[in-house]
Structure 1
């Protein structure tokens, strides 16, 4: 019952915010299709982390994820080499560290002790941190309604952090997800300030970002016992899951997301936030995870907070 109620809340907020906007686009069916595909890819990333951790350590899963995305973008980088603004290297590196590499490790560490559905819900706090960082460091204004949304969002996050089968207790691994979403919020503001107006498209910007962090991830991956672990039972399957995280979740999904922004608006594209936890919860339920009433309550409060923050 709680699962159906939560899905209803998330679906209602999503439709209330975006039904009219999407219907006014030139290709509404394509827009809805891209939103659904992005929700499926990003919502599935948490269960993929969990399956990859069956063999590999969190640092290895995060490294495989980023290194796979690096390999995906490498041919495009070589083809477009003459168009690369190498004088912006420090900003590409910063965006890579804050928006991809460090969060990949944090989500992997969280996934070792945290259910995928809960990780997916906590991931929804990204818009809240984006707004807070923008207000503190970039002088963006926060309305009274957005302030209420921020408070509600963090109350929901606190409920998730404290939720447990035997009552309320602190799940420290949830703070890894919170740290990752904080980094996302910082990165989004920095990217907007320093990586816009470069005269190159968003696909090439994303390519440059992964070129800076891919070698770091590769060094971490191959400096440990990754190669010997490939001989273990189930290692190849676990590696495929981690590679899917990189190629689909960190590479192709970003291309689709940027395309969606070009077709509609950043607000509509960011509404995928409402759908990601639904997919993550469904995967968790199918995998036998115990989603409690406190979890659904916390998730619903977070999404209501995000709705107030994004509501135009």
Structure 2
């Protein structure tokens, strides 16, 4: 899951177009919850570096026409912040999730992804002057207890799954990015869609450089390569591009609190895909995920 900046929010408790709001929420949960299984299916042919870079490069190609059309509106003075947001919020996490997906069940990755709000709060309090209440502190502690359970969960008991740590590092980067974006990429006079476009313009060429420096072209000749390529492109266009547009639209139509509830739905979708794909979901997984979601609820509760 990736969130990005919005320039306006609706704080009214009365929903505008409630059917559309709930439809967008369900669609977002479906897209982001499915991203973990798409990573897994892409890794059948491509290696983690190729899947991660192909994901970002696909999103870059999606946004490129909008960048060209709006070229004169681009605040190039903020280029370093666009690059930083791109690296921390998209490029590096895409590699980390791909690495994790090579050895970690997609359902577990989806559950660990829910620690993003916890890291966002911690980073905000540690470096950006935000306040943490006692209830939120308790939520953070619960969230990380749940994450530890997921990291230690295994079919033969408890042991450290090092690949789960890649997901934790990715969510830490998300937390840093959200705070940086809020502080340095607000009040630019352009909408959130164009800000997202600018972010991907800075990291797309890097992703292309990584992708085409590997044996990506030769792997296209392998069996099932076309299917894996489609999965990776869908991962980028849907999960890293269109989903951001939908999320921004959702926040503009309703409150940030309601929009953030997608955090609770993503693990459910990810685990359902995992079960359908034959992944073993253990009691420790359900317990860890439940504790994380309780912690995230306490962090977000008004």
| Residue of structure 2 aligned with 1:230, choices 198, 220, 237 | 220
Q: 2:187 aligns with which of 194, 197, 206?
A: 197
Distance 1:213 1:39 in 2: 25
The within-5 A match list for 1:38-49 is 38-49=28-39
**Structure 2: runs of 5+ lacking an equivalent:** 1-10
Establish whether residue 164 from structure 1 lines up as the match of residue 154 from structure 2: yes
Counterpart residue number, 1:100: 90
RMSD, matched Cα: 0.9
C-alpha deviation, 1:23, in angstroms? 7.3
1:159–1:298 CA contact under 8 A, matched in 2: yes
Partner of 2:72: 82
Residues 56-108 of structure 1 show CA distances to partners (whole Å, capped at 9, x for unaligned) of 00000001000000000000000000000011000000000000000000000
- 1:301 pairs with one of 273, 282, 291: 291
Partner of 1:288: 278
Deviations 1:202-245 (A, max 9, x none): 00000000000000000000011000000000011101100000
1:119 and 2:109 correspond? yes
- For 1:258 and 1:265, locate their aligned partners in 2 and report how far apart those are by CA, in whole Å: 11
Partner Cα distance (2:95, 2:230) in 1: 17
2:6 aligned residue: none
Deviation at 1:26, TM superposition (A): 1.4
Match of 1:258 among 248, 252, 257: 248
8 Å CA contact 2:12–2:255 kept in 1: the answer is no
After TM superposition, the score normalised by the length of structure 2 is 0.96
Deviates more, 1:295-304 or 1:264-273: 264-273
Structure 1 position 22, deviation (Å): 9.4
Q: Which stretches in structure 1 are left out of the alignment for 5+ residues?
A: 1-20
> What does the per-residue CA deviation read over 1:126-147, in whole Å, with 9 as the maximum and x for residues that have no partner?
0000000000001100000000
Correspondent of 1:241 among 231, 249, 259: 231
Measure the CA separation in 1 of the matches of 2:214 and 2:113.
29
Give the conservation status (yes or no) of the 8 Å contact 1:124–1:303.
yes
C-alpha displacement of 1:45: 0.1
Q: Normalising by the residue count of structure 1, what TM-score does the alignment of the two structures yield? A: 0.93
Residue of structure 2 in register with 1:151 after alignment:
141
**Alignment partner, residue 186 of structure 1:** 176
C-alpha separation in 2, matches of 1:23 and 1:43: 27
The structure that is helix-richer by fraction is: 1
